[in-house]
């Protein structure tokens, strides 16, 4: 479930998630896709890869085509072809084996664009020699065979050879036409295809088949080219993503280091400033109260009071900076102990009572009775309550009212609610108020401006307790600050045991305690 900005820990103190970290990755992906889309699938970079794929298919398909040639020689002898067909089969097999060895040699060498053209021409010349072998086959005769038988035998063998060549050599442009263009012409001449209708039909069929398999080879080559293009796109995207990720990681590391260095610097400087500031506060208070004797000039007494008030304000600022820097540097440790939430809040009300009375502000409180103890850091809880109360007193007008509540949440947790009837906060300014050093327009116009660190510190302390801090406000109606502690921190109460014999008392002490059922109350 998505949380509202008011429910999230301070983006500077706790939550370090930044949306802009993914922007570089998105831009890199977009640039790569645009570049590849402009290039299309006709990039000459793929010619070397296509020739490499061609050599691999030739190397793996040589055995199949040699087997076809050997079987052709065997069946030709059975049909009554002269022994020269075996010589043809031997020479053709030798050429195809040489073709495979040439492809193997190409794969073993370093493949560059400079050598690609030379090897392409070499393979094209080999296909011409292979075509000459098939043209030789087309001129072979059979004395014991009829014209139809020899015509069908040659046509079937050449069809099988063309199909094998189209599926093996398709990555070399025009290889099927180069290899079987001459054999078809030789077939037509050898069988008097220019004059005999049957031979003419067979030659036309072979020509149509050659065109069909050439088309199939072109389509297969385009498919290979598209596959190479997609692979190149994926590789480019992966490279861009890796680069963007490394840049993002480096930026994140530098940001965290800078933030940690800032926190350490603030902690060190704030500590160094407190010593002379305490001296200023002590001496100004002595002067204002005329401990060492009266001052002749009334202005001096007024100036001493101003110095003391300004120094106190500066000390509060330094203390808040120390708290903030301690949390950012990860040096804030929780000393968890059982405590009564209502008692802590009541003590904090007593601390701000004098300031509230000066502005004629009434503080009403309603604490739910019989609430069990809360396992939390008392100092942190006290700071949370005191910051919320001080903030309410600061922005509540004279004669206003502040309502303080503690009670159960619907999930079984406990909450602190501080609600005032002050000027309120515009809804769009709530994230600003919750940011470190952030102040809304009402606070800026106020004569009693704060440091802008109180609420972020509250938010960070609640996050350390696995709790949630909410800020609800309506303009000209008031603001409610809600600090919610999870149910896991609510402790079960031990039942009161009557005084009895030591044996029974020890037996009761060994029995496990049962947590008191929490009432469900709305926060």
Choice among 13-17, 109-113, 157-161, 212-216 with the minimum mean pLDDT: 13-17
The pLDDT of residue 446 is above 80: no
Cβ-contact 374, 338 below 8 angstroms:
yes
Most confident of 9-13, 88-92, 138-142, 304-308: 88-92
Residue 199 DSSP SS3: helix
Q: What pLDDT was estimated at residue 405? A: 93
Residues 6+ apart with CB under 8 A from 420: 392, 395, 396, 400, 401, 402, 403, 478, 479, 480
CA distance readout (Å), 232 to 100, 105, 164, 174, 245:
28, 26, 29, 25, 20
336-339 vs 374-377, strand pairing mode: antiparallel
Question: For the residues 474-486, what does the mean pLDDT come to?
Answer: 88
Q: What is the Cα 486 distance to its own chain's centre?
A: 30
- In order, the DSSP letters of 45-99 are HHHHHHHHHHHHHHHHHHHHHHHHHHHHHHHHHHHT--THHHHHHHHHHHHHHHH
Model confidence over 174-223: pLDDT tens digits? 888 888 888 888 888 876 655 567 777 888 888 888 899 888 888 888 88
385 by DSSP, 3-state: which?
helix
Cα–Cα distance measured from residue 170 to residue 460, given in angstroms and rounded to the nearest whole number: 67
Average of per-residue pLDDT values in the chain: 77
Q: Which 3 state secondary structure label does DSSP give 43?
A: coil
Residue among 460, 457, 425, 459 at smallest CA distance from 444 = 425
Q: In the numeric block, which tokens belong to residue 355?
A: 């300031």
Where does the pLDDT of residue 419 fall: very low under 50, low under 70, confident under 90, or very high at 90 and above? very high
Residue 416 CB burial class (10 angstroms; 0-12, 13-18, ≥19): buried
**Contact in structure between 483 and 382 (CB atoms under 8 Å):** no
Dihedral angle sign, alpha carbons of residues 225, 226, 231, 237: positive
Write down the pLDDT at residue 522.
Answer: 38
Residues 99, 130 contacting (CB under 8 angstroms): yes
The per-residue b/e assignment along 454-487, b for 16 or more CB within 10 angstroms, e otherwise, is bbbbbbbbbbbbebbbbbbbeeeebbbbbbbbbe
The dihedral sign for the CA sequence 20, 22, 28, 32: negative
- Looking at residue 406, its pLDDT comes to 92
Asked whether the beta carbons of 262 and 330 are under 8 A apart, the reply is no
pTM for this entry: 0.44
Residue 336 pairs in a beta bridge with 377
Euclidean distance between the first and the last CA atom of the chain, given in angstroms as a whole number:
19
Give the span between the Cα atoms of 134 and 130, in whole angstroms. 7
List of residues 6+ apart from 94 with CB closer than 8 A: none
Please compute the mean of the pLDDT values over residues 266-283 and round it to a whole number. Answer: 74
Which pair of structure tokens corresponds to residue 106? Answer: 């190409």
Please check the confidence at residue 94 and state whether its pLDDT lies above 90. Answer: yes
- Return the DSSP state at 334: -
Using alpha carbons, list the distances in angstroms from residue 202 to 117, 148, 199, 293.
36, 10, 5, 132
Encoded tokens for 311: 């120094």
Q: What distance lies between CA 309 and its chain's CA centroid?
A: 50
C-alpha distances (whole Å) from 94 to each of 70, 175, 395, 473 are 11, 19, 99, 91
Confidence band, pLDDT 50/70/90 cuts, at residue 11 = very low
Percent of the chain with pLDDT over 70: 78
Confidence check: pLDDT of 18 > 70: no
Q: Give the list of residues 6+ apart from residue 425 with CB closer than 8 angstroms, or none.
A: 433, 440, 442, 471, 473, 475, 479
Angstrom distance (rounded) from CA 58 to CA 63: 9
| Per-residue pLDDT tens over the stretch 319-369 | 777 776 677 666 677 888 999 999 999 999 988 898 899 889 999 999 998
Residue 150's nearest CA partner among 197, 65, 80 is 80
CATH topology of domain 336-493+500-510: Heat Shock Protein 90 (3.30.565)
104-113 core/surface letters (b: 16 or more CB in 10 A; e: else): eebeeeebee
- Is the pLDDT reported for residue 377 higher than 70? yes
| 378-392, 430-444, 506-520 — most confident range | 378-392
Strand order in the sheet with 414-420: 362-367, 401-408, 414-420, 478-485, 468-474
Q: CB under 8 Å to 160, separation ≥6 — which residues?
A: 68
431 SS3 class? helix
The pLDDT assigned to 444 comes to 46
Alpha helices by DSSP H, 329-413: 341-358, 378-395
Locate the domains of the chain by residue range.
41-234, 299-332, 336-493+500-510
Nearest to 138 by CA among 184, 176, 200: 184
Q: pLDDT of 226-242, one tens digit each?
A: 888 788 778 778 888 88
Q: 401-408 and 414-420: which strand pairing?
A: antiparallel
Mean pLDDT (whole number) for 288-307: 78
325 closest CA partner among 436, 435, 431, 451: 436
Alpha-carbon span 456 to 462, nearest angstrom: 10
Residue 293 has pLDDT above 90, yes or no: no
Query: What is the residue whose two structure tokens read 């590789």?
Result: 235
pLDDT at 85 over 70: yes
pLDDT interval class at 29 (50, 70, 90): low
pLDDT attached to residue 16: 38
Range with lowest mean pLDDT among 318-327, 467-476, 484-493: 318-327
- The predicted pLDDT at position 500 comes to 47
pLDDT at residue 10 greater than cutoff 50 = no
Q: How far apart are CA 272 and CA 282, in angstroms?
A: 17
């Amino acid at each position: 479930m998505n949380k509202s900005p008011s429910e999230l820990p301070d983006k500077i103190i706790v939550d370090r998630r930044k949306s802009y970290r993914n922007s570089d990755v998105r831009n890199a992906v977009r640039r790569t896709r645009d570049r590849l889309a402009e290039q299309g699938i006709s990039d000459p970079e793929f010619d070397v890869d296509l020739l490499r794929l061609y050599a691999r298919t030739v190397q793996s398909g040589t055995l199949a085509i040699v087997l076809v040639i050997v079987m052709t020689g065997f069946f030709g002898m059975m049909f009554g072809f002269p022994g020269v067909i075996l010589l043809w089969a031997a020479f053709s097999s030798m050429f195809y084996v040489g073709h495979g060895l040439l492809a193997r040699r190409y794969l073993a060498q370093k493949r560059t664009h400079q050598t690609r053209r030379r090897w392409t021409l070499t393979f094209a010349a080999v296909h011409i020699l292979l075509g000459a072998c098939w043209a030789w086959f087309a001129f072979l005769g059979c004395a014991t065979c009829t014209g139809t038988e020899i015509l069908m035998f040659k046509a079937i063998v050449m069809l099988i050879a063309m199909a094998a060549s189209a599926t093996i050599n398709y990555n070399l442009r025009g290889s099927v036409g180069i290899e079987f263009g001459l054999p078809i012409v030789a077939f037509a001449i050898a069988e008097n295809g220019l004059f005999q209708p049957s031979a003419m039909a067979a030659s036309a069929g072979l020509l149509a088949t050659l065109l069909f398999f050439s088309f199939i080879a072109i389509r297969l080559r385009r498919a290979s080219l598209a596959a190479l293009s997609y692979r190149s796109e994926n590789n480019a995207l992966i490279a861009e993503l890796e680069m963007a990720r490394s840049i993002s990681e480096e930026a994140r590391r530098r940001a965290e280091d800078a933030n940690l260095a800032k926190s350490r610097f603030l902690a060190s400087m704030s500590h160094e400033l407190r010593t002379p500031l305490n001296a200023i506060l002590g001496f100004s208070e002595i002067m204002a109260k005329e401990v060492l004797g009266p001052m002749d000039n009334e202005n001096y007494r007024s100036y001493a009071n101003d110095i003391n008030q300004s120094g106190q304000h500066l000390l509060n600022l330094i203390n808040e900076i120390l708290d903030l820097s301690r949390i950012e540097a990860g040096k804030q440790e929780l000393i968890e102990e059982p405590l009564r939430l209502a008692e802590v809040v009541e003590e904090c009300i007593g601390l701000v009572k004098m300031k509230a009375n000066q502005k004629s502000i009434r503080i009403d409180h309603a604490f739910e009775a019989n609430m069990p103890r809360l396992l939390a850091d008392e100092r942190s809880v006290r700071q949370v309550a005191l910051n919320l109360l001080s903030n309410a007193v600061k922005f509540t007008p004279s004669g206003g009212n502040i309502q303080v509540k503690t009670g159960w949440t619907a999930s079984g947790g406990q909450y602190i609610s501080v609600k005032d009837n002050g000027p309120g906060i515009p809804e769009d300014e709530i994230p600003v108020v919750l940011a470190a050093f952030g102040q809304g327009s009402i606070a800026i116009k106020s004569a009693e401006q704060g440091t802008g660190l109180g609420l972020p510190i509250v938010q960070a302390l609640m996050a350390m307790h696995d709790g949630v801090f909410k800020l609800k406000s309506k303009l000209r109606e008031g603001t409610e600050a809600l600090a919610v502690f999870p149910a896991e921190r609510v402790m079960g109460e031990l039942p009161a045991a009557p005084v009895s014999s030591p044996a029974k008392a020890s037996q009761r002490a060994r029995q496990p305690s049962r947590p008191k059922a929490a009432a469900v109350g709305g926060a």
